[in-house]
Amino acid sequence: MSSNNSNLKSVANKAEISSLYRLKETKVLTFCGMMGALAIILGYVATIRFGQYIRIGFSGLPNQVVDYLFGPWIGAIFGGAMDVIKWFASGDGNFFPGFTITAMLGAIIYGFFTFNKPVKLWRIIASQVMVKALCNLILNTLWLNLLYGQAIAAILPGRIVSNAVMLPIDTVITYALLQVVNKVIKPYFN
């Protein structure tokens, strides 16, 4: 029985890595481009800023669709590229590669929880909690500390509140969105 489990894990890992080859497909690149454009638009029209360190927005939803459809590795490439493109498009401050690393790590987490798996609420909750705790609260707070010299104790409470508020909202929206993507868009890429 344990050899069966290891064989299943091996097949799953091969599927995740082989998904990288999908970047050669025109329809995959085109879809990623459209999701990138949507992420930029959502960043402009669906983002609310509270000061310099707290931001509530929905521009990450297209990233999660890419992570779900194409896996953690394409998602990481997409997430990293989108972080750089959004920085160029916004012209806000200096570029800091830590945020790009965080975007890529978040895509890997979402991809591992959702790629080639049924859309289940517990998977969405688990991925959202991991990304919000590891990427948003720990890494991004550290990057803000390094970049602006702000004390972590000063900026962390507001970041905890914004992530706690966004957790159920992001979970519900992502779950509903991936249900639709699973029925409408995913069959096109299978």
Q: Bridge partners of 56?
A: 48
Q: Which domains does the chain have, with CATH numbers?
A: 2-189 (1.10.1760.20)
Contact 83, 103 (CB under 8 A): yes
Extract the runs of DSSP E, i.e. beta strands, from 31-189: 47-50, 54-57
Length of the chain: 190
Q: Which residue has the tokens 């297209």?
A: 62
pLDDT in tens, 82-126: 999 988 887 777 788 999 999 999 999 999 999 999 999 999 999
Q: Which of 110, 23, 100, 95 is nearest to 63 (CA)?
A: 110
Residues 10-27: tens digit of each pLDDT: 545 555 666 778 888 899
Q: What is the pTM of this model?
A: 0.85
> DSSP letter at 51?
T
Across the chain, mean pLDDT equals 87
Nearest partner of 64 among 176, 188, 190, 184, judged by Cα = 176
- Percentage of the chain beyond pLDDT 90 is 57
String of b and e for 99-113 (b: at least 16 CB within 10 Å)? bbbbbbbbbbbbbbb
Residue type for 132, please?
K
